[in-house]
Structure 1
Amino acid sequence: MKYELVKRQLESLGSSTDDKTGLFAGLTHIVNKGHPEWEGRDLVIRFLDKFKLFDEVEQSLLLSLVRTVGLFPYITEHVDQVSAADRLAYEVHRVQGVEKGMVFHRLQAHVFHLLMQGRNVVLSASTSVGKSLVIDAVLAQGKFRKVVVIVPTIALIDETRRRLVRRFRESCNVITHPSQEAQASVTNVYLLTQERVLQRDDLDDVDFFVIDEFYKLDLASDSEEKNRSVDLSLAFHRLANLGAQFYLLGPHIHNIQGLDKYEYNFIPSNFSTVAVDVTHYNLRTRGDERKEKLLELCQQITTPTLIYCQSPASANRVAQFLIDEGDFPALEATREISAWIAENYHPAWNVAKAISLGIGIHHGGVPRAIQQYFVKLFNERSIRYIICTSTMIEGVNTSAENVIIYDRRINKNTFDFFTFKNISGRAGRMNQYFIGKVFMLEEPPEEKSLTVDYPIGLQDSASPMGLLMKLEPEYLTDQSKQRLEAAYATPQLSTSTLIENRHIPIDRQVEVADRILREKILGRELLTWKGNPEQKQLEYLCTLIYDHLPHKLQEYGIHSGLQLAWHINALRAQKNFQAYLQQAIDEDISDRTPSESIGQRLKLIRNVISYRLPRDIMALSKIQADVFRRVNVEPGDFGFFAEQLENLFHDPLLTALDEYGVPVQISSKFKSAILPADGLTQLLANLRAWAPKIASSPLSSFEKQIVKWAVEEI
C-alpha cells in the first residue's frame, strides 16, 4: 500500500470495531521498506493519535513499530505493554541525570553519543525534535565545567534559563547578566546572545559551546545591517579558536559552507516527533478574504493556536479585527493582567483588550515580561490564541496544535520556503498533539533548499568591514587585508576608533569626525561633557546621530535630532508614562489607530532608545574623544548617559530583573527591599529572601503572582 492511501484510510477510521488488518499491513510494509524513512515514522505518529481505537494485539504491534522508527519517548506511557526486546531498546535510550523517566529518540541519542565522544556536531532538524534535551543531557554528565549557550533573543535566554534552573539548580550556575560571575564549585553555563558573548572577558577557558538557530551565521539571515550575523560569526570564531567543542543546531538546513577549518559531523535530518497537515487556501493578499477565513478558523478551532503575522502593524490589525468581529467572551483568568496593562500602559492599547478575550499578542513592541507571561498562559492553556511575528517563531517553545499563517511575508519581504517550514514547525507537540495543523492563507512559497554560509570562511569583496576588523591577520584573505589597509588610511580617525565602532560604516564615522572638526568651537562647548548632558548638549548629540548615523527614525515619526532629544527627555522625566503614550495618539497625523500609535512608540523604546541609541552614543563618544585629543582638547565621556539610556533611567539591576519576568513597573514598588545589591546574583538572593513577605506588600494580586512565578524559577 502507498503512504497516501494508508493515511487516507486511517483518517476515515471511525471506531474500534472497524477492520484494521489491511491498515496495519500497509503500515508495517511502509515502515519495513524504510525508503523514504519519514513516511513510516509519520504514519506511526498518526496511528498513535488513534491509539485507543486499536485492540491489545494491535497496540502491541504499533508499539513495536514505534521502536522500529526510533520514537522511544512515545513508549513511556505504555512501557508495561511492550515486549522484552522493545523494553531493552527503550531502556538503552534512557537519559541520565536530567529528569526521571526521560528517554531519547533515535536522533537525540545519536547526537548525544557523538558529543560525548568529543565530536563537533552541526544538527539540522525540525523544531519538534527536541534538540535542547541533548544540551541538558550533556550538562548532566558533568564532563564540561564552562559552557556557553548562544541564543538569538532575550526571550530564549529567559526560556532556556528557566529550564536549566529547574533541572540543574544545585549543579549549575546559570549566568545571563554582565554582573554575574563564575563559581568554582559548579558547572558554569553562560546563557547569552552573541552581543553579550563579545562583551565578556572571562570566556577564554570555555570547553563546550552551543549556538541555537545557527542559520543566523549567514549574512542573508540578517535583514537589517548584518550586524547580528557578524556578531554571531565573531562569537563562534572566538570560542571555536579556543579549541572548545561545539554543537550548532537549527531547522531545515541542507548544507553549511565555510567551516572547512573545523572537523565536524553535519547531520541534516528530516526526523520529526509530530506529523503535520498543511491546508492551503491560496487567498489573495488584498481584500477581506483572509480576514474572513481567519475568523472562520478561529470559530472552528478549539485547541491552542498561533497566528503568524508579518509585522507588529499586521499583528495589531489582526488583533483589532478579532476583538471587533470575533465575539470572544471575556475570561476571568485574564481579567487582572488586562487591567494591569491598561493601567500601566494605556487603556487604548489593544494588547489589554485582546488578552481579556484570551488572545495574547507577541511581537517586538510588546514589553518582554508581558510576552513571557502570555506564553506562560498559552502553554498552560489559559488562553487559546497568540498573534505573533517572527520574534516568537525563532525558537520560543509553545504547546500549539495549530498555526495559522496569515501573512506570507516578514516585514515587507516575501518569506522563503525555509521560513515557511520554520513557522510550520511550531504546529504539534510531542506527547501533547501528535498531528500539528497548519493553515496557509496565502499561496505558499516555492520549495527550495537552504545553504548556510559562514562568512569568515567565505570572505570576498562584499564581506562586511565590521567582520574583517575583528579578525586576526592569519584569518584574513589577501583581498580582505587590502580592503582593511585602505580603510585604515583615513587621517581623521585612529584605527582603534574605527574598530571599536565597527557596527557603523567607516564613511559615516568619517562624516562625524569631519563635522566636529568644522564646528570645533561649537563642539568644544557641546561635546566635551561627562555624566548627563544639558539640554543644548543633548540636542547637538541627537542632531549628529540623526544627520550622520544609519537609522530608520522616520518610521517612528522622528524627523530631526530635536525630536529625538524630546523623546529622551520625556522618558528621563519618568513622571507619567501614560501621558507619553497619549501624546503618541494625540500627535499622530497618519491613519493609524490609537493602539497602533501606542505600539509604534513602545517599539521605538525597545528597538531604538534602549538598544540602538546607546550604542550610537558610545560610538560618538569615541569619535569626539579621538578628534579632540588630536587638537589637545579634553574630550567628553558619554558612557554614563548611554548606560542610563539603555536602562531607560531605571536602576540597571531592575532592568535586568525584567528579563526574569518582573516588569520595572512592579519591581520599582519594592525596590527598597532588594536594593542596593552588588550585582544580579545578590539582587536575586535579596528577592528570594523578601519573597515570603510578599503577602503583606502593597502589590496587587496579579503583581504578587508575577513575583512568585519569577522567584520559583530563580
Structure 2
Amino acid sequence: MKYDLIKQQLEMLCDQTSDKTGLLMGLSHIVNRGHPEWEGRDLVIRSLDKFEMFDEVEQSLLLSLVRTVGLFPYITPHLENVSFSDRLAYEVHRVEGVEKGMVFHRLQAHVFHLLMQGRNVVLSASTSVGKSLVIDAVLAQGKFRKIVVIVPTIALIDETRRRLVRRFRQSCNVITHPSQKANDSPINVYLLTQERVLQRDDLGDVDFVVIDEFYKLDLASDSDEKNRSIDLSLAFHKLAKQGAQFYLLGPNIQNIQGLDGYEYNFIPSNFSTVAVDVIHYNLHTRGDERKDKLLELCAQITSPTLIYCQSPASANRVAQLLIDKGDFPALKATREISEWIAENYHPAWNVAKAISLGIGIHHGGVPRAIQQYFVKLFNERTIRYIICTSTMIEGVNTSAENVIIYDRRINKNTFDFFTYKNISGRAGRMNQYFIGKVFMLEEPPEEKSLTVDYPIGLQNEGSPMGLLMKLEPEYLTDQSRQRLDAAYATPQLSVSTLIENRHLPVDRQVEVADRILRELNLSRAWLTWKGNPEQKQLEYLCTLIYEHLPHKLPEYGIHSGLQLAWHINALRAQKNFQAYLQQAIDEDNSDRTPSESIGQRLKLIRNVISYRLPRDIMALSKIQADVFIKKGIEPGNFGFFAEQLENLFHDPLLTALDEYGIPTQISTKFKAAILPSENLTQLLEKLRVWALKINSAPLTPFEKNIVQWAVEEI
C-alpha cells in the first residue's frame, strides 16, 4: 500500500467497527521499509490521532510501530500496555535529572549522546522536535560548570529563563543581565543575546555554548545592516576559539559552510513529532479574496491558531478586519488587560480592542512584556488567536494546532521560503496536537534550500569591516588584513575609535570627524558636555546623527535632527505618554489608521530610541573625544545620557524587570519598595519579599497578576 492511500484511510476512519486490519498491515509495511523514513513516522502520528478507534490488540501493534519510528514520548500514556521489548527500548530513552517521566525520542537521544561524548553538534530540525530538551538534559548531567546559551531575542531569554529556573532552581544560577555575576552554584548559565555576550569580560572559561536559531549567523538573514549577524558570529568566535564545546540548533537548514576550523557533526534531519497538512488556496494578493477566506476560516476553527502576516502594517490591517467583521464575542478573561492597555497606551490602539475579543497581536510594535503575556494567554488557551509577524518564529514556543499564512513577502529569496517553512512548522505540538494544519492563502514562495554561511570562515572582498575589525590577526586572511590597513590609514581618527565604532562605516565616522574640525568653534560649544545635554547641545547631537549616520528615521516620520530631539524630549519629560501617542495620530498625514500610527511610534521607541540611538550616541562620544583630545580640548562624555536613553529615562533595573514580564508602567508604582538595589539579583530578592504582601499594594488585579506571574519563576 502507498502512503497517500493509508493517509486517506486514516482520515476516513470514524469508529471502532471499521476494518483496520489492512490499514495496519500497510502501515507496518511502510514503517519497516524505512524509505523514505518520514512516511512511516508521519502515518504513525496520524494513527495516534485515531488511537481510541483501535481495539486493544491493534493498539499494541500501533505502539510497537511508535517504538520503531522512535517516537518514545508518545508511549508514555500507554506504558502498561506495551510489550517487554518496547518497554525496554523506552527505558533506554529516559531523560535523567530534568523532570520525572521525561523521555527522549530517537533524534534527541542521538544528539544528547554525541554531546555527552564531547562532540560539537550542529542540528537542523523542525520546530516540533523539542531541541531545547537536549540542552536541559545536558545541564542536568553536571558535566559542564559554565555554560552560555545565546538566543536571538529578549522574549526568548525570558521564556528560556523561566524553563531553566522551573527545572533547575536549586542547581543553576541563571544570568541574563549585565549586573549579574557568577556565584558558587554548581552550574552558572549565562542566558544572553549576542550583544550581551560581547559586552561581558567574564566568559574566558566557558566550557559549553549553545546558539539557538543558528541560521542568524548568515549575513543574509539580517535586514538591519548585518549588525546582529556580525555580533552573533563574533560571539560564537569569542567562545569557540577558546575550546568551548558547542551545540548549534535551528530549523530547515540543508548545509553550513565556514566552520572548517572546527570538528563537528552536522545533522540535517526531517524528523518530526507531529504531522502537518497544508491546504493551499492560491488566492490573489489584491482584492478581498484573502480577507473573506480568513473570516471564513476563523468562523470554522475552534482550536489555537497563529495568523502570520508579513509585516506589522499587515498585522494591524488583519487585526482591524477581525475586530470589525469577525463577530468575536468579548472575553471576560481579557477585559482587564484590554482596559489596562487602553489606559496606559491609547484607547485607539487596536491591540487593546483585539485582546478584549480573544485576539493577541505579536510584532515589533508591541511592547515586549505585552507580547510575552499574550503568548502566556495563548498557551493557556485563554485566547484562541495570535496575529504575528516573524517575531513569533524566532524560537518562541506556542501551542498552536493551526497556522494561517495570510500573506508573504514578494521577494523570491531563500529566506522568504525559509520563513514560510519556519512558520508552517509552528502548526501542531507534541502531546497536544498530533496533526497541525497550515492554511496558505497566497501562492507559496518558491522552494529553495538554505545553506548557512559562517562569515568568519568565509572571508572575501565583501566581508563587513565591522566583523574584520574584531578578529585577531591569526584569524584574518591576507585580503582582510590589506582591507583593514587601508581603513586604518585615515588621519582623522585613531584605530581604537574605528574599532570601538565598528557598527558604523568608516567613511561615515570620518565625515563626522571632518565636520567637527570644520565647525570647531561650534562643535566645541555643543559637544563638550557631560551628563545630560542642554537643548542646543541635544539638537546639534541629533543633527549629526540624522545627517551623517545610516538610519531609517524617515520611515518613522522623522525628517531632521530637530524632530529627533523633539522625540527624545517628549520621552524624557515622562508626563503624558498617551499625549505622545495622540500626537502621532494627529500629525500623521499618511493613510495609516490611528492604530497604525501608534504602532509605528512604539516601534520607533523600541527599535531606534532605546536600541540604535544610544549606540550611535556613544559612537559620536568616542569620535568627538578623539578629535578634541588631539586638539588639546577637554572632550565631552555622552555615556550617562546614552544609558538614560537606552532605559527610556527609567532606572536600568526597572527596565530589566520588563524583560521578566513586568512593564515599567507597573514597576514604577512600587519602585520605592525595591530600589535602590546594587544589582538585578538584589532587586529580585526584594521583589520576592514585597510580592508576599502584594494584596495590599496599590495595583489593579491585572497588575498584581502580572507581578505574581513574574515572581513565580525568578
TM-score by length of 2: 0.99
- The secondary structure found in structure 2 opposite 1:115 is helix
Q: Take 1:319 and 1:492, find their aligned partners in 2: how far apart are those partners?
A: 52
- The secondary structure found in structure 2 opposite 1:662 is coil
Residue 410 of structure 1 deviates from its aligned partner by: 8.2
**Match of residue 288 from structure 1:** 288
Q: Take 1:147 and 1:435, find their aligned partners in 2: how far apart are those partners?
A: 35
Cα displacement string for residues 521-577 of structure 1 (whole angstroms, at most 9, x for unaligned residues): 000000000000000000000000000000000000000000000000000000000
**Match of residue 87 from structure 1:** 87
**Match of residue 213 from structure 1:** 213
For residues 696 and 224 of structure 1, do their structure 2 counterparts lie closer, same or farther at Cα, with a shift above 3 Å needed? same
Matches within 5 A, 1:231-380: 231-380=231-380
Q: Take 1:446 and 1:69, find their aligned partners in 2: how far apart are those partners?
A: 31
Q: Contact (CA 8 Å) 2:166, 2:713: kept in 1 or not?
A: yes
Q: Take 2:115 and 2:260, find their aligned partners in 1: how far apart are those partners?
A: 19
Matches within 5 A, 1:57-206: 57-206=57-206
Q: Contact (CA 8 Å) 2:307, 2:406: kept in 1 or not?
A: yes
Q: Take 1:329 and 1:410, find their aligned partners in 2: how far apart are those partners?
A: 34
Residue 184 of structure 1 deviates from its aligned partner by: 2.1
Residue 85 of structure 1 deviates from its aligned partner by: 0.4
Matches within 5 A, 1:399-478: 399-409=399-409, 416-478=416-478
Q: Contact (CA 8 Å) 1:408, 1:415: kept in 2 or not?
A: no
Q: Take 1:251 and 1:590, find their aligned partners in 2: how far apart are those partners?
A: 38
Q: Take 1:629 and 1:327, find their aligned partners in 2: how far apart are those partners?
A: 66
Q: Contact (CA 8 Å) 2:585, 2:597: kept in 1 or not?
A: yes
TM-score by length of 1: 0.99
Q: Contact (CA 8 Å) 1:408, 1:414: kept in 2 or not?
A: no
Q: Take 2:574 and 2:691, find their aligned partners in 1: how far apart are those partners?
A: 27
- The secondary structure found in structure 1 opposite 2:692 is helix
Q: Take 1:411 and 1:599, find their aligned partners in 2: how far apart are those partners?
A: 24
Q: Take 1:332 and 1:460, find their aligned partners in 2: how far apart are those partners?
A: 58
**Match of residue 499 from structure 2:** 499
**Match of residue 385 from structure 2:** 385
Matches within 5 A, 1:2-81: 2-81=2-81
Cα displacement string for residues 486-520 of structure 1 (whole angstroms, at most 9, x for unaligned residues): 00001110000000000000010000000000000
For residues 98 and 74 of structure 1, do their structure 2 counterparts lie closer, same or farther at Cα, with a shift above 3 Å needed? same
Residue 615 of structure 1 deviates from its aligned partner by: 0.2
Matches within 5 A, 1:516-531: 516-531=516-531
Could you tell me which runs of 5 or more consecutive residues in structure 1 were left unpaired when the two chains were aligned: none
Equivalent position amino acid for 1:268 in 2: P
Residue 414 of structure 1 deviates from its aligned partner by: 9.0
Residue 447 of structure 1 deviates from its aligned partner by: 1.7
Q: Take 1:185 and 1:470, find their aligned partners in 2: how far apart are those partners?
A: 32
Q: Take 1:451 and 1:648, find their aligned partners in 2: how far apart are those partners?
A: 39
- The secondary structure found in structure 2 opposite 1:378 is helix
Equivalent position amino acid for 1:426 in 2: R
Matches within 5 A, 1:679-698: 679-698=679-698
**Match of residue 652 from structure 2:** 652
**Match of residue 223 from structure 2:** 223
Q: Take 2:527 and 2:413, find their aligned partners in 1: how far apart are those partners?
A: 40
Equivalent position amino acid for 2:447 in 1: E
**Match of residue 397 from structure 2:** 397
Q: Which runs of 4+ in 1 moved over 6 A?
A: 410-414
Residue 413 of structure 1 deviates from its aligned partner by: 7.8
Q: Take 2:319 and 2:503, find their aligned partners in 1: how far apart are those partners?
A: 36
Residue 360 of structure 1 deviates from its aligned partner by: 0.1
Equivalent position amino acid for 1:266 in 2: F
Q: Take 1:533 and 1:585, find their aligned partners in 2: how far apart are those partners?
A: 29
Residue 449 of structure 1 deviates from its aligned partner by: 1.1
- The secondary structure found in structure 1 opposite 2:224 is coil
For residues 410 and 534 of structure 1, do their structure 2 counterparts lie closer, same or farther at Cα, with a shift above 3 Å needed? farther
1:532 aligns with 2:535: no
Q: Contact (CA 8 Å) 1:311, 1:410: kept in 2 or not?
A: no
Compare 561-570 and 417-426 and name the one that shifted more: 417-426
**Match of residue 565 from structure 1:** 565
- The secondary structure found in structure 2 opposite 1:416 is helix
**Match of residue 638 from structure 2:** 638
Q: Take 1:184 and 1:513, find their aligned partners in 2: how far apart are those partners?
A: 47
Cα displacement string for residues 312-350 of structure 1 (whole angstroms, at most 9, x for unaligned residues): 111000000100000100000000000000000000000
Residue 650 of structure 1 deviates from its aligned partner by: 0.3
Q: Take 1:604 and 1:446, find their aligned partners in 2: how far apart are those partners?
A: 33
Residue 411 of structure 1 deviates from its aligned partner by: 9.4
- The secondary structure found in structure 2 opposite 1:558 is coil
Aligned-residue RMSD, C-alpha: 0.9
Q: Contact (CA 8 Å) 1:658, 1:664: kept in 2 or not?
A: yes
Could you tell me which runs of 5 or more consecutive residues in structure 2 were left unpaired when the two chains were aligned: none
Q: Contact (CA 8 Å) 1:125, 1:271: kept in 2 or not?
A: yes
**Match of residue 707 from structure 1:** 707
Q: Take 1:111 and 1:593, find their aligned partners in 2: how far apart are those partners?
A: 49
**Match of residue 673 from structure 2:** 673
Q: Contact (CA 8 Å) 2:309, 2:389: kept in 1 or not?
A: yes
Q: Take 1:174 and 1:411, find their aligned partners in 2: how far apart are those partners?
A: 40
Residue 419 of structure 1 deviates from its aligned partner by: 1.7
Q: State the number of aligned residues.
A: 714
Residue 415 of structure 1 deviates from its aligned partner by: 5.4
1:614 aligns with 2:614: yes
- The secondary structure found in structure 2 opposite 1:103 is coil
Cα displacement string for residues 215-269 of structure 1 (whole angstroms, at most 9, x for unaligned residues): 1101111122011110000011110011000000000111111100100000110
Q: Take 2:66 and 2:410, find their aligned partners in 1: how far apart are those partners?
A: 38
- The secondary structure found in structure 2 opposite 1:263 is coil
Equivalent pairs: percent with the same residue?
88
Equivalent position amino acid for 1:588 in 2: D
For residues 413 and 570 of structure 1, do their structure 2 counterparts lie closer, same or farther at Cα, with a shift above 3 Å needed? farther
Q: Take 2:413 and 2:302, find their aligned partners in 1: how far apart are those partners?
A: 32
Q: Contact (CA 8 Å) 1:409, 1:415: kept in 2 or not?
A: no
Q: Take 1:319 and 1:411, find their aligned partners in 2: how far apart are those partners?
A: 24
Residue 287 of structure 1 deviates from its aligned partner by: 1.0
Q: Contact (CA 8 Å) 1:310, 1:411: kept in 2 or not?
A: no
Equivalent position amino acid for 2:162 in 1: R
Q: Contact (CA 8 Å) 2:129, 2:272: kept in 1 or not?
A: yes
For residues 190 and 460 of structure 1, do their structure 2 counterparts lie closer, same or farther at Cα, with a shift above 3 Å needed? same
Q: Take 1:410 and 1:648, find their aligned partners in 2: how far apart are those partners?
A: 36
- The secondary structure found in structure 2 opposite 1:283 is coil
Compare 417-426 and 71-80 and name the one that shifted more: 417-426
Cα displacement string for residues 19-64 of structure 1 (whole angstroms, at most 9, x for unaligned residues): 0111001100000000000000000000000000000000000000
Q: Contact (CA 8 Å) 2:221, 2:415: kept in 1 or not?
A: no
Cα displacement string for residues 166-201 of structure 1 (whole angstroms, at most 9, x for unaligned residues): 000010000000000001232000000000000000
- The secondary structure found in structure 2 opposite 1:695 is helix
Residue 448 of structure 1 deviates from its aligned partner by: 1.7
For residues 290 and 552 of structure 1, do their structure 2 counterparts lie closer, same or farther at Cα, with a shift above 3 Å needed? same
Q: Take 2:614 and 2:487, find their aligned partners in 1: how far apart are those partners?
A: 25
Q: Contact (CA 8 Å) 2:412, 2:446: kept in 1 or not?
A: no
